[in-house]
Each structure stands twice: as C-alpha cells, then as structure tokens.
C-alpha cells in the first residue's frame, strides 16, 4: 500500500507538514499551563481547528523554557495523516494490517509479487540503532535532572499536581537481552509529577507496563523505565493502538511509518529509546515503592479516585537542543483520545471482520467513551445470529471485554446514524425477547456505575429483523420508494428547485 504523505521521522517533520497545509497555528499570546491551556484546547478541538503551538506558555507566572504543542490529533484527518494516509484510505490501511496479522498462503509467483508491500512492511519492523541521537543533544543527568524544566499542564481544577499527558512509557521484562526490542512495551500511561526528580506511573493491571513491573518486583529488582515525549506520529499512534500482547509497539511503528524505527541506547538505564524524540525521561522503579496518584480528570468525564501506583525516580532528562513539549488533555468527549478512537475504529474493522465475517459495520460512539457501547450491523441469515455476534465480540476480542452494551442491527441500518439506530430499536426490538443481560463480567474499573470495581454487567440489544423461530408473527415490510420513481424525480428536481427558488413570499 502506498503512503499518501511523506515519512515523518519526528514530531517536527509532522508539524512542518501540518503547517504547509495550514493546519498548525502558532499562539503568541501568553497562556498559562494551569487550566487556561486546557480550555483553549477544548474550544479549538470542538471547532475542528488546527494543531496549536504555544510560543509563550506560562508556568507559575514565568515563561516556559520551550514551546508547547497541543491538539495534535484533534481532527480525524490529522490522525489519518499521522498514519500516512488520507482519511478516506484508513480502511485500506486496516486491510493491510489485518493481512499482516493473518497472512494467507501464497498462490504462485504473481500472488507473491502482489504482496511486496506486506514484505516491505515486515522488513520495516527491524530497528535501526542511532549512536548520536537528536534526543540526547542536551543531557541533564543525576542531580541536574529536574522535571520542573518541562511546561507540564494542570488540566482540571481538582487535580493535585501537574500531569504529563502524552508520555510514551518504554518498559521491558527482566529476562533476556535488554536490546531485544521485540519484547518491549510502549504504552501511554499518564504521569503525575511528584517532585523535581520523581513521578507516579499510572498503569492499569492489564497493561503491558504493569505486567513488566510485576515481573521485576517478583525478582526484587529495580525496573528501568524510559519516557519519550514528542516522537514521530507513527510511534505515538502505535503506543495508543490496542495491539496484541505479543506485538511490540516500537516495531509495529515501522509498519505504519514504512521505515525502520530509529532507536538509541538510553543514557542511564538499559533500554532503547526513540532516537528522534523531543524529550526523554529516564529512571528506575524500585520494588515496593508506590505513591498516591490522583484525583485526575479522565475520558469518562469524571475525576478518578486516588490510588497507589509505582513511583519512578528520575535519573536523567535528555532533550533536543531546542525541544518541543507535547501535551493533551482528557475529559468528557469530544477530546483528543475520542478523535483518535474514531479512526482506530475504522482501522480495526477489517481485523474484526476476519474473525466475525457477518459483521458489516461497527461503531464505537465517542460520546460513550469510544468503547463502552458498540453498534454492530450484520448480514443476518438465521435465528440467534445477533446473540452469537454479541458473544463473539465479548469473548473473542479482548478490546471488547470492557464494552458493556452492544446493539446489533441489520445491514440496512447506518450504525453511525443515531436516528437510524433508534428507529431499529423502536421497531425491531422487544424487551421481553431481545435483551441479553449478563452479570459479574470484567468491566472498566473506572466505571463508577458498576456494582463492584472491575466487575459489572453486559447488555445486548437485538434490534434486528426477527426470522424463523425468533417470531411467530408476520414481520412488517419496510417502506421504500421504487427506484424508477426516484429516477423520475431526480430528472424533475432541477425544474422543481428552479420553481421553488422563484416563488414569491
């Protein structure tokens, strides 16, 4: 598959691309990183506006030491551009990624040659080691490492401390060679600034970073951690994708970028880090060291409860000579994560169809936190099929284990049109027959509506046309206008429009 856009080796190449397309705005007005910057981002995102570069960010009443980049992925078009394609081609990229995950047997030389893009993509996963990386042009090591040099936002009024919101946290298991990036995890885990050289890493138990931490702690050894801020868009989006546990996000970024990931050995910890990052924070998490994190505003639109998470002791902060600090905020959608989620929805659809072929379309509405509700259309052929699809989504695909409501509709329903979906529920669904309720299943522990933290129910709504044994009544016929009538009126429409335009009040 051919890219529509050039390869972006780092954040600034992507920003230059956006600027060339008049999709980056520079803000010269002083804006405080405490609350004010969040409100500016919220308004710009809701307006579908450009990415922002704050050249006069203020921290504690003083000018920041570096510009702040925000609203980077505030539109679906910019997310797609970060993936290297136009918005309308995200589905094609999804097909390629699905084929890479489950390649079909090669059928002859012609078929093999047609798969050259997939072979190229596979080759792009091997990292290239950079010995003098841009991310280490300036080094603050030991006592010189101070997180206060970063213009970290405070996003919401009830938060206890500044929060690093776009960190790419690099971890690895304790066994094996530390240069084996195939076993690395790259995750977006928010970081509370706890002091000049300490931060709290909030990774949930099911995430890769938490699994690595458990392994290190079981050996009573300190765990090396590196945090990259402001990388190329492919690396950032790979870290946010719900990839299988066996897939390295760092290596997968090479597939998206079409170029081998550029990595470099960290300065003070045994880890490889993105060579072209704007900023890298290095440090250690010692066994048993935890600190209370939160409360912070989250994508649910609520503050999280205070909980204890691992404490990172910073050993170095390295930067480019003139670094850019990347930030975002999370809150009730729409926010930047919900925009990214909308594109990822389409990116994942080909993979989902390979596992559940009867699915026509699937939508995770952003207003339901982009994962708590799914609307699915199917090509219905037999009784009970809608329930089978619900169970398949909940049971076969890990990313749907936190989806608590699934609405299944027929192919003639547009899943992204709430009026169409609600019409299907109103006319094809009966509560006494078409509800599926399951209790005591895994649920997002951030869901305060669940009776127990991490344990709640699932609801399935079968809003499909009932067939066979599903009903004993004659099903109604859907109203539709004959195609020849539509064609006749299409031909008449210019004349009718002219009549209407010339009417007198």
Catalytic residue positions, numbered = 298
Is residue 328 within 8 A of residue 72, CB to CB? The reply is yes
Please give the backbone phi and psi of residue 192, each rounded to the nearest 5 degrees, phi first.
-80, 130
Q: Checking phi first, is residue 468 left (phi over 0); if not, alpha (psi -120 to 50) or beta?
A: left
Distance CA(55)–CA(400), nearest Å, equals 41
Give CA torsion, residues 330, 336, 338, 339, to 10 deg: 170
Q: Which residue has the tokens 């801020």?
A: 229
Structure tokens at 426: 């109103």
Handedness of CA 151, 155, 156, 162 (dihedral sign): negative
From CA 303, how far away is CA 145, in angstroms rounded? 30
Residue 197 · residue 145 · CB < 8 Å: yes
Strands (DSSP E) contained in 329-487 are 359-363, 373-378, 405-410, 435-442, 455-462
Please name which of 286, 284, 285, 283 lies closest in space to residue 316, comparing C-alpha atoms.
283
CA atoms within 13 A on the CB side of 308: 4
d(CA 370, CA 332): 11
User: What is the C-alpha to C-alpha distance for residues 201 and 290, in angstroms, rounded to an integer?
Assistant: 9
Burial 37-68 (b: 16+ CB within 10 A, else e): bbebbbebbeeebbbbbbbebbbeeeebebbb
């Amino acid at each position: 598959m051919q890219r529509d856009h050039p390869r972006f080796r780092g954040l600034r190449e992507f920003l230059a691309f956006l600027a060339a397309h008049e999709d980056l705005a520079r803000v010269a007005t002083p804006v405080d990183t405490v609350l004010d910057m969040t409100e500016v981002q919220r308004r710009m995102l809701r307006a579908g506006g450009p990415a922002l570069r704050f050249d006069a960010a203020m921290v504690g009443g003083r000018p920041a030491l570096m510009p702040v980049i925000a609203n980077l992925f505030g539109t679906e078009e910019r997310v797609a551009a970060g993936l290297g394609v136009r918005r309308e081609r995200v589905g094609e990229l999804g097909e390629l990624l699905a084929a890479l995950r489950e390649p079909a047997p090669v059928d002859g030389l012609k078929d093999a040659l047609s798969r050259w893009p997939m072979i190229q993509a596979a080759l792009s996963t091997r990292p290239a080691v950079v010995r003098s990386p841009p991310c280490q042009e300036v080094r603050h090591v030991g006592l010189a490492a101070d997180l206060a040099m970063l213009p970290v936002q405070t996003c919401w009024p009830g938060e206890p401390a500044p929060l690093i919101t776009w960190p790419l946290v690099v971890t690895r298991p304790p066994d094996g060679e530390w240069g084996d990036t195939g076993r690395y995890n790259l995750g977006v885990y928010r970081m509370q600034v706890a002091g000049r050289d300490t931060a709290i890493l909030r990774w949930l138990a099911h995430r890769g970073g938490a699994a690595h931490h458990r392994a290190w702690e079981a050996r009573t050894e300190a765990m090396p951690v590196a945090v990259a801020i402001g990388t190329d868009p492919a690396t950032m989006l790979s870290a946010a994708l719900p990839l299988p546990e066996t897939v390295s996000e760092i290596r997968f970024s090479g597939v998206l970028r079409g170029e081998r990931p550029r990595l470099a050995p960290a300065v003070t910890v045994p880890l490889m880090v993105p060579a072209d990052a704007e900023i890298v924070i290095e440090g250690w998490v010692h066994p048993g060291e935890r600190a209370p994190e939160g409360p912070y505003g989250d994508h649910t639109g609520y503050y999280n409860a205070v909980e204890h998470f691992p404490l990172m002791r910073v050993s170095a902060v390295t930067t480019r000579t003139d670094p850019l600090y990347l930030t975002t905020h999370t809150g009730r959608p729409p926010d930047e994560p919900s925009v990214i989620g909308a594109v990822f929805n389409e990116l994942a659809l080909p993979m989902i169809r390979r596992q559940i072929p009867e699915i026509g379309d699937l939508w995770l509405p952003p207003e339901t936190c982009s994962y708590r509700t799914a609307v699915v259309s199917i090509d219905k052929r037999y009784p009970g099929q809608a329930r089978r699809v619900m169970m398949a989504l909940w049971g076969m695909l890990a990313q749907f284990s936190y989806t608590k409501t699934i609405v299944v509709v027929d192919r003639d329903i547009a899943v992204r049109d709430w009026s169409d979906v609600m019409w299907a529920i109103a006319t094809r669904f009966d509560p006494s027959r078409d509800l599926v309720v399951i209790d005591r299943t895994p649920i997002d522990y951030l869901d305060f509506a669940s009776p127990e933290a991490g344990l709640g129910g699932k609801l399935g709504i079968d809003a499909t046309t009932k067939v066979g044994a599903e009903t004993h009544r004659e099903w109604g016929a859907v109203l539709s206008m004959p195609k020849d009538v539509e064609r006749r009126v299409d031909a008449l429409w210019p004349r009718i429009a002219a009549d209407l335009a010339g009417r007198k009040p």
